[in-house]
Amino acid sequence: MAGGAIDRSTLIQLQDAEDGELGLRPELTASIARAAAMRMAGTRWQPQRLYYNANVFRKGTDTGSGGQQEFYQAGVELLGAGGTVADAEVLLLLSECLQSLGIDDWHLVLGEAGLTATLLEPFPPNVRQKVRGAIANLDRIALETLPLSDELRERALLLFDLRGRPEDVLPIVAKLDLDLPQQAALNNLKSAIELLYQCQSKIPNLKSHIHLDLSLIQTFDYYTGIVFEVVSSSKTGQRVLGQGGRYDQLLGLFDPQGQNSPGIGFCLNIEDLHQVLLTEGQLPTETPASDWLVVPQTPEASAAAFAYAGKLRESTHLVRVEIDLESRETEEAAREYARDRRIAQIAWVNAEGLPTIETVN
């Protein structure tokens, strides 16, 4: 249903049905686009900012017992908003995620799917997909051995090498014989990068993290504009921590009236993030302490204690509250438990639901 943008060879099939194929989802953007177009079409407020945490299933080259085929992702989708500012919002959010995780060695690699696709159009249809695949997989040897004329081989190698600092790559691209849509795509990419540079006060040294790569081609072929990857070099080797891009024609494939709506999003690859944080010692070593211990003063006060704990949890955005589940002989035993668990406050609740608040020293 995603217009052939998802390679069927990556699907893990469950069965062959008479009216098509049934397989496990290899990504989530198309599923969210379908839900938004078919179930949220009447939503009053635009744009929509959605997030997800879920698993995906993908057939890899290694299909043996050691080959991982289930992966976990956390991502966002910004639907109904196009343009440079929307692109910058998503890219800044991605950068802030990495900053909040304490990851320093990361690079935001930017490309432009629409521009790259049109730059591939001069190649004959019978080899264009092979050129695209060689560029996507960074396989220079395969590119050099394809049956191309000297002129097309030179063009293919030029596209392959269009990566580096934006201030170095953009002038090279500007010298190409670009038509108006290609020039517009290049200008939009340049504007997004300039806007990111202006936000360096929000993300320290953001400029040094940004790289341009017009040979960047994503696995899924529904992207129409800016595309990007976050790459980290750690002790476990280079890892892609996240990826995403703009898809302004995907929602129209699912819309009952065929109406297009812009979209852009990204996902974080949880397993790769975990490995990087693990090797850098960034993972928490202990569970955060609760903020409150709610103690029913008598067995008859248990229901009131549960009710009071619920009020505490609703009192602010995030508050950790636990009920004392033990029938302790003395109040001091409850205090000792709170100290051991680093709980700062105790609420002693009687059968009438009235609490007595105590700060634990």
Instruction: Give per-residue pLDDT as tens, 312-349.
Output: 999 888 899 999 998 888 999 999 999 999 999 999 99
Question: What does the DSSP assignment read for 272-301?
Answer: HHHHHHHHTT-S-SSPPPPSEEEEESSGGG
Give the model's pLDDT for residue 38: 84
- For residue 87, name the pLDDT band (cuts at 50, 70, 90): very high
Q: Are 95 and 108 in contact (CB under 8 A)?
A: yes
Residue spans per domain, the chain: 8-279, 292-359
Q: How far apart are CA 296 and CA 294, in angstroms?
A: 7
Determine the distance from the C-alpha atom of residue 245 to the mean position of all C-alpha atoms in its chain, rounded to a whole number. 10
> For residue 9, what is the DSSP state?
G
Quote the mean pLDDT of the chain: 87
Q: Are 155 and 218 in contact (CB under 8 A)?
A: no
**What angle do the packed helices 125-136 and 150-160 form, to 10 degrees?**
30
Q: Are 48 and 64 in contact (CB under 8 A)?
A: no
Task: Provide the greatest CA pair distance for the chain.
Answer: 88
For 219-245, what is the mean pLDDT? Answer: 86
For 291-316, what is the mean pLDDT? Answer: 93
Of the spans 64-68, 165-169, 305-309, which averages the highest pLDDT? Answer: 305-309
Q: How far apart are CA 233 and CA 106, in angstroms?
A: 7
H/E stretch holding 221 reads none
- For residue 63, name the pLDDT band (cuts at 50, 70, 90): very low
Give the model's pLDDT for residue 332: 94
SS3 358: strand
pTM: 0.78
Tokens (6 digits) for 78: 């910004």
Q: How far apart are CA 331 and CA 347, in angstroms?
A: 12
What percent of the chain stands above pLDDT 90?
45
100-113 tens-digit pLDDT: 888 888 999 999 98
Q: Which residue has the higher pLDDT, 116 or 53?
A: 53
Q: How many helices (H) and strands (E) does the chain have?
A: 13, 14
Give the model's pLDDT for residue 222: 85
> For residue 268, what is the DSSP state?
E
Q: How far apart are CA 11 and CA 293, in angstroms?
A: 49
Q: How far apart are CA 107 and CA 94, in angstroms?
A: 11
Q: Which residue has the higher pLDDT, 9 or 290?
A: 290
Tokens (6 digits) for 331: 């109040």
- For residue 206, name the pLDDT band (cuts at 50, 70, 90): confident
Tokens (6 digits) for 42: 């009447």
Pairing of strands 321-323, 292-296: parallel
Alpha helices in the chain (DSSP H): 29-39, 84-100, 113-119, 125-136, 140-144, 150-160, 166-174, 180-197, 206-209, 250-254, 270-279, 302-314, 331-340
Q: Are 295 and 308 in contact (CB under 8 A)?
A: no
For 75-85, what is the mean pLDDT? Answer: 94
SS3 163: strand
Q: How far apart are CA 17 and CA 192, in angstroms?
A: 45
- For residue 357, name the pLDDT band (cuts at 50, 70, 90): very high
For 146-157, what is the mean pLDDT? Answer: 90
Determine the distance from the C-alpha atom of residue 341 to the mean position of all C-alpha atoms in its chain, rounded to a whole number. 34
- Residue 263's closest CA among 26, 50, 38, 44? 50
Tokens (6 digits) for 4: 């052939």
- For residue 64, name the pLDDT band (cuts at 50, 70, 90): very low
Query: Spelled out in words, what is the top-level CATH class assigned to the domain 8-279?
Result: alpha beta
> Is 214's pLDDT higher than 90?
no
Give the model's pLDDT for residue 241: 95
Q: How far apart are CA 311 and CA 333, in angstroms?
A: 25
